[in-house]
Amino acid sequence: MTKEEILQRTKAFLLDLDGTVSLEGVPLPGVTATLSRLRSAGKRLVFLTNNSSKTRKRYEAELARTGLFETGDLVYTSGNAAAEYLNAHFRGKRVYLSATEEVKREFEAAGVNVVEECPDVCVLAYDKELTFEKIKKLDGFLRQGVYFLATHPDDVCPAKGGSMPDVGSFLALFQRSSRRAPDVIVGKPYPYMADSVAGRLGLKKEELCMVGDRAYTDIRFARNNGLKSILVLSGETTRDMLSSIEDAPDLVLDTICELL
């Protein structure tokens, strides 16, 4: 697909953060101006992240400070998706949540009944405050057969000088200790966030275009869910890797700035 066709058919761009619009919180060169031009062209912008260690409010504040976020844009994390999923499928049920304190408060504010004992559902978010006590507790609930939701499957999260363990790595731990895999994962590349964003914006999924730097999450998410996709080479994927990619995007660009 040409960029002209993508621009013509897309009403909202779903933007990955790290490696796509920013690196370690710093906007990539020219991206702020590109996003402004997309808004001027009438496009909605959604910052879509699997990182469930921070709240939407914190992301909005951080992105606004660097000039990436403007009123009218949307931030949507896999944590937000998990809270919505719980409200849709387990409304009022008792939820044990392994998450940072700020994300716990965000779930509570969304109406989730967060408890420490006797849960009906267990949720594993990107808990950067994880302790052995929390691991032991969650493992115990999983052994009892409590329904298990994980926010996202990423093994690692990009970090200064390399990467750090992410939820997928913790899922491997629980797979070994309790012989349980999640009953559902709501983050990319699974369907929940695509349906939810489309519903929230009142758009069809084919009117959405995912822009990201990881083929096996961002582009797979788009392909699995009927969204258009742009793979940018400003992050994890290099030009050398393109020939071996299974999840082919509609368009490859060096950076998102090439779109306009």
Angle at the Cα of 208 from the Cα atoms of 89 and 127, rounded to 5 degrees: 50
The footprint of Mg ion on this chain (CB under 5 A) covers a number of residues equal to: 4
- Within residues 172-201, the interface with Mg ion by CB under 5 A covers none
Angle at the Cα of 106 from the Cα atoms of 196 and 144, rounded to 5 degrees: 85
Q: By C-beta, is 18 or 84 nearer to Mg ion?
A: 18
Token pair 């619009």 is found at 21
Single out the segment in contact with Mg ion by CB under 5 A; choices: 1-9, 10-18, 110-118, 179-187.
Answer: 10-18
Looking at residue 236, the DSSP 8-state letter turns out to be: S
Rounded to a whole number of angstroms, the minimum distance from the CB of residue 156 to Mg ion is 11
Examine residue 247 and tell whether it contacts Mg ion (CB under 5 A).
Answer: no
| Residue 15-54 contact track with Mg ion, rule CB under 5 A, x = bound | -x-xx-----------------------------------
Alpha carbons 75 and 100: distance in angstroms, whole number: 18
Q: By C-beta, is 236 or 250 nearer to Mg ion?
A: 236
Rounded to a whole number of angstroms, the minimum distance from the CB of residue 211 to Mg ion is 10
Single out the segment in contact with Mg ion by CB under 5 A; choices: 31-39, 106-114, 187-195, 210-218.
Answer: 210-218
Rounded to a whole number of angstroms, the minimum distance from the CB of residue 217 to Mg ion is 8
Q: How far is CA 9 from CA 13, 165, 203, 209, 228, in A?
A: 11, 37, 12, 9, 9
- Beta strands 162-165 and 156-159 are antiparallel
Rounded to a whole number of angstroms, the minimum distance from the CB of residue 236 to Mg ion is 6
Rounded to a whole number of angstroms, the minimum distance from the CB of residue 158 to Mg ion is 7
Rounded to a whole number of angstroms, the minimum distance from the CB of residue 138 to Mg ion is 27
Closest residue to Mg ion using C-beta atoms:
19
Q: Do 30 and 22 touch, CB atoms closer than 8 A? A: no
175: helix, coil or strand?
Answer: helix
Task: Give the residue among 226, 66, 30, 29 at the shortest CA–CA distance from 47.
Answer: 66
Examine residue 249 and tell whether it contacts Mg ion (CB under 5 A).
Answer: no
Token pair 């052995």 is found at 132
Give the N- to C-terminal CA distance of the chain in Å, as an integer: 15
* Residues in touch with Mg ion (CB under 5 A): 16, 18-19, 213
